[in-house]
Structure 1
């Protein structure tokens, strides 16, 4: 009599250092928000929107790192891809829109806040930050992290090593934060919508290409998933194809939607300027 294949039991995962970081980030943000809120009503609507964005981004991090999805990602490649997409195209842009750095800073005691503010205003730090936030640099770092970690040898090494796995996820999150900062952070302030749309379009293309390669590959890229996927009654190649589709279709749609939002923002900013210039021209014609 054949023994039944072991079934996956959904469970939440609680890595102490991950839970500690998540709780600390939420607590500091909440404290900073309350301190700014008590200082006056100016900007409350904007801060409320940022709070909502940060809260949703934080929940996406919880879903990726602590929910049953994290446990399932060890058994199914497709679940692992859902986890990665949650980090890079859901949590990262929402956290950028939440502007957590300023709120975290306000949560600190005045002496610590002033010390950190002085440190980040140094020429060396500002130079490093300007380089990292250049659209081309942020784009390249994000693309390099994505493609390098999906190389079969590195991907399987990360599956076998908790330390490498943590480094993989950290590189995805940090590079995605830099990438989305050039779209919704620096670009929003300096009106670099053209660069932002170019970054989004080219990222949609190369991530879609990687997803297509995974989906259409005739063989398995990651043999480490053969045994756990088979134990769950899932064909490993079908699991890989589904994971590729997750990156290819929903991921591509996310970048396309962000590009449309960026384009609409650019058009809305140009429309008042065009009206002003037309009004000036009309007055000159009338005066003449």
Structure 2
């Protein structure tokens, strides 16, 4: 078992802050389960035998990063709402920039590839402080990347379901470049693992290929799930737009289709329904 206070303590602080905030605002139970589940996944990953293996084998380190910075970050974003984030955004208003998909994707890509440069990656393996910084940035930019797709921050009007599909594809293409390089390369990118590879009886090439394969498999599974989510979301939004248009027509309230579409896309269909009903009463 591994104990990493530099990495576990921030999770405790975040969990307490989230818990305190939820005593002031209402967050759906499923979102709270996602948030705490994301933190638990990170804590278990960083305290499990996998954390020890990650210092000896490259594939274990890759799996560790995917669990905390991809899956863990995704769960945390699913646990966030506008009211939960409001105090943080008031204190650090520039964080709103990560609601823009271009900003989030560029920042995530730069962080992803910079940390996979051999000098930095091996420096993280050999130094606990650098390792903690690496994980903190992986998780932070992972949250930013998912925030632009699934989070409550305001998004550009053009970022509809079609562009969201493109965003998901772009993420996986960016990851797949490194994954394929690792899987097919015969050269050793990270010789820091040589001792651990010898102890475990695995060649550097096979260790590296396994890391690339793990990245490909995890990325494919998440992509399939997200495509399924987008399909269901598009069907639900289409039905909601139709219902709101019929309600407005039935009550004699003039409502442009574009306004209905914007409200539904922003998750404010219920608020628009109340406004249509209220306008009909006043009329």
TM-score class normalised by the smaller sequence: 0.7 to 0.9
Aligned to 1:144: 110
Aligned to 1:77: 58
2:80–2:152 contact (8 Å) kept in structure 1: no
What CA deviation, in whole Å up to 9, does each residue of 1:166-194 have, x standing for no partner? 22111111101011111111479877434
What CA deviation, in whole Å up to 9, does each residue of 1:151-180 have, x standing for no partner? 222212222332322221111111010111
Distance 1:283 1:25, change over 3 A: closer
1:253, CA displacement in angstroms? Answer: 2.2
Counterpart CA distance in 2 for 1:131 and 1:17 is 28
1:277, CA displacement in angstroms? Answer: 4.4
1:231, CA displacement in angstroms? Answer: 1.1
- Give 2:19's match in structure 1, choosing from 7, 30, 38: 30
SS in 1 for 2:56: coil
1:276, CA displacement in angstroms? Answer: 4.8
Distance 1:200 1:219, change over 3 A: same
Distance 1:17 1:171, change over 3 A: closer
2:73 aligned with 1:92, yes or no? yes
What CA deviation, in whole Å up to 9, does each residue of 1:113-162 have, x standing for no partner? xxx94x8447xx43x23323211010011111111211222212222332
Aligned to 1:242: 210
2:115–2:121 contact (8 Å) kept in structure 1: yes
RMSD across aligned positions (CA): 3.0
Counterpart CA distance in 2 for 1:130 and 1:100 is 13
What CA deviation, in whole Å up to 9, does each residue of 1:195-251 have, x standing for no partner? 432221111112122111100101211111111111122222111110111111212
User: How many aligned residue pairs are there?
Assistant: 250
- Give 1:214's match in structure 2, choosing from 182, 200, 207: 182
Aligned to 1:17: 6
SS in 2 for 1:219: coil
Aligned to 1:177: 143
SS in 1 for 2:28: helix
1:50–1:97 contact (8 Å) kept in structure 2: yes
Q: TM-score, normalised by structure 1?
A: 0.76
Counterpart CA distance in 2 for 1:47 and 1:186 is 14
Distance 1:278 1:99, change over 3 A: closer
Aligned to 2:99: 133
2:183–2:208 contact (8 Å) kept in structure 1: yes
What CA deviation, in whole Å up to 9, does each residue of 1:12-33 have, x standing for no partner? 2222333322223333333443
2:130 aligned with 1:164, yes or no? yes
Counterpart CA distance in 1 for 2:82 and 2:96 is 16
SS in 2 for 1:241: helix
Aligned to 1:262: 230
Higher relative contact order (CA 8 A, sep 6+): 1
Question: Structure 1 regions of 5+ residues with no counterpart?
Answer: 1-11, 38-42, 106-115
Counterpart CA distance in 2 for 1:249 and 1:220 is 22
Aligned to 2:34: 53
Counterpart CA distance in 2 for 1:50 and 1:282 is 35
Distance 1:225 1:101, change over 3 A: farther
1:281, CA displacement in angstroms? Answer: 8.3
SS in 2 for 1:94: helix
